[in-house]
Amino acid sequence: MRRSLLFIPGNNPAMLSNADVFGSDGVIFDLEDAVNVVEKDNARNLIHYYLEDHPNLDLEVVVRINGLDTEFYQADLDMIVSDNIDAIMLPKARITYLEELDKLLTKYEKERCLKKKIKILPIIELAISVLEVDKIASMNRVDGILLGAEDLSSDMEVARTKEGKEIEYARCRVATACKAYQIDAIDTPFTDVNDKAGLEKDCLNAQTLGMNAKAAIHPNQIDTINEVFLPSEKLINWALRVKQASDEASAKGIGVFSLDGKMVDKPVMDRANKILVKAKKFKAI
């Protein structure tokens, strides 16, 4: 369960050293787009030794490797697969690439006697990946899916806009697939780091379509993202009242009851329970 994931360039030692102070639920140490070809080795080394020195970070640790269609991914995995990471983020995800990555991670886990199973967070940033997203969401190790709107817009040959109309279909497809398999639907980053109002609007739009988390590219975006993707006080109070009424009805042997003049049945109770679980997870109650 996540609200925010912060991208940190793997070749930026200052940001790496402060990874756990920005307030995000997780960090994505980036070996792909944020790192120039000539800096790949340096970035791998920085991440590797940082994680060796900080093996118990109190947040989720994700590493975005280079794609399996590049010459860099094997060296990425060699350096960073360990019990010090929680997940691999795979760019330009396809079913075939995910199957191959699953096999590779199984091999590393056995050879290195890892104590944990490494998760995978695929990035949907190709038109064909949007069509494959239902299958991708169901795959082994996949624990959440990130929508990558910049590359997707390029692949679709459309302009990327702040309004996001061009990615509405992809957002819906990703969110629906993730909800179907009970994993996190992680929205694409908002690239204007100085537009707080625009970020909040973008978060609310994504949330309306079913996204439950968002990636960030700058620490100043974290507070807004966390606030939007945390249940509001009004929603939490409603969920608490539903739970109390549900407990009282259950004690009387009643399955369906009314609250504030509206019928409350299992789907409503399930939604209230999910709200309370998330609120407790992030210490809102």
Q: Annotate 180-194 with DSSP letters as a single string.
A: HTT-EEEEPPP--TT
Mean pLDDT of the region 199-217 = 97
To the nearest 10°, report the CA torsion of 226, 67, 90, 185: 60
Percent of the chain residues topping a pLDDT of 70: 100
Among candidates 179, 182, 180, 181, which has minimal Cα distance to 207? 179
Spatial contact of 5 and 62, defined as CB atoms under 8 Å apart: yes
Q: Give residue 93's pLDDT band: very low, low, confident or very high (50, 70, 90).
A: very high
| Structural tokens at position 147 | 């929508």
String of b and e for 63-90 (b: at least 16 CB within 10 Å)?
bbbbbbeeebbeebbebbbbebbbbbbb
Going along the chain from its start, the domains and CATH numbers come out as 4-228 (3.20.20.60), 233-281 (no CATH)
* pLDDT at res. 254: 84
| Structural tokens at position 208 | 């309306």
Percent of the chain residues topping a pLDDT of 90: 90
Mean confidence (pLDDT) of the chain: 96
Question: Looking at per-residue confidence, does 253 or 207 come out higher?
Answer: 207
Find the range with the poorest average confidence among 230-234, 256-260, 270-274: 256-260
Q: Give residue 256's pLDDT band: very low, low, confident or very high (50, 70, 90).
A: confident
Is pLDDT of 250 > 90?
no
Nearby residues of 70 by Cβ (< 8 Å), 6 or more positions away: none
Question: What's the predicted TM-score (pTM) here?
Answer: 0.93
* pLDDT at res. 237: 95
Number of neighbours of residue 278 by Cβ within 10 angstroms: 20
Task: Please write the tens of the pLDDT for every residue from 136-193.
Answer: 999 999 999 999 999 999 999 999 999 999 999 999 999 999 999 999 999 999 999 9
Is pLDDT of 257 > 90?
no
